[in-house]
Amino acid sequence: MASLSFIIGIIGNVISILVFASPIKTFWWVVKKKSTENYNGVPYITTLLSTSLWTFYGTMNPDGLLVVTLNVTGAIFQLIYVTLFLIYAPKDKKIKTAKLVAVLDVGFPGVLIAVTLLAIHGNTRLAFVGILCAVLTIGMYASHLSVMRTVIRTKSVEYMPFLLSFFLFLNAGVWSAYSLLVKDIYIGVPNAIGFVLGSAQLILYVIYKNKSASAKSPEAMEEEGSAHLVKGGIEMHSLEDDLKNRSLNKCRSLPKPQVGRQYSLQKIMKTLSLTPYELQSSYPLHSDVEDGNTDTDHP
């Protein structure tokens, strides 16, 4: 039985290390761009706290060798991530992150270790630290509930990477089995909860993976529809303005009536209808025509 638990513990170590190593690609881009952009450092800070406390728990547990090796490795990974985040974060975010690191990863573990070693004795010491570690692990697994809610609301698995969900599910399952073999309730309870939540994530992935390509979130569809309406309104307005401008330009380009030509035609028609006497007395002077004076009553 001891050999089986050791083998399962080794498997659990390998899977957990893969989970710890999953952000390497993210921080590769952070180093390459020399900026943390919109990444959040809180998950790495809290994971560093969790791995530190589990390491402390493992050192007090007679059967905690595999717990120590795993969480020391995890703490090293998280310490590297937090350090890189502090180096490349903007100034305002860097200050906030440094304060969180000082409180959660330095102050709180220091006080906890001091209280545990100085004020708590016997089996109560192990139970006290084990309960705290279990609560932190449950909180870590529960943080994925928001992702599951997003998947259900949007009917898309875009924000729930399959590999991460699968490794978290596998990790929780292996450590649940390990806890049954070594009869460690503090490892078993949080990982059993994580196994259930991981199973739920995989079920959601199977349900919504085929809908992700065609289904969009209501907000995205609403924004897209509004964009089309606005675009259509702008295009219609532009079309109306274009037609108006064309009409105005067409009117402006029409030939203007010439007063001289109209006057000449009217004069010819009038001349044909006059008697020789009227023709002589009514015909305007040559100077009047040149001046544009069409007054037939000129003496």
Most confident range, picked from 154-158, 201-205, 220-224, 243-247: 201-205
pLDDT score of 245:
55
Between CA 294 and CA 231 the distance in angstroms is 58
Q: Alpha helices, DSSP H only, in 183-217?
A: 185-208
Q: What is the pLDDT of residues 124-152, one digit of tens each?
A: 999 999 999 999 888 888 877 878 888 88
Of 21, 23, 43, 22, residue with least CA distance to 139: 43
Q: Alpha helices, DSSP H only, in 36-122?
A: 42-60, 65-88, 91-100, 108-119
Q: What is the pLDDT of residues 222-235, one digit of tens each?
A: 444 444 434 444 44
Helix, strand, coil proportions of the chain in percent (round to 5)?
Answer: 80, 0, 20
pTM score > 0.75 for this model?
no
More confident residue, 281 or 195: 195
Percent of the chain with pLDDT over 70: 70
- The three-point CA angle 144-161-78 to 5° equals 65
Between CA 70 and CA 201 the distance in angstroms is 25
The dihedral region occupied by 298, where left means phi > 0, alpha psi between -120 and 50, and beta the remainder, is beta
Percent of the chain with pLDDT over 90: 45
- As a whole number, mean pLDDT of residues 269-288 equals 42
Q: What is the pLDDT of residues 40-74, one digit of tens each?
A: 888 899 899 999 999 999 999 988 899 999 999 99
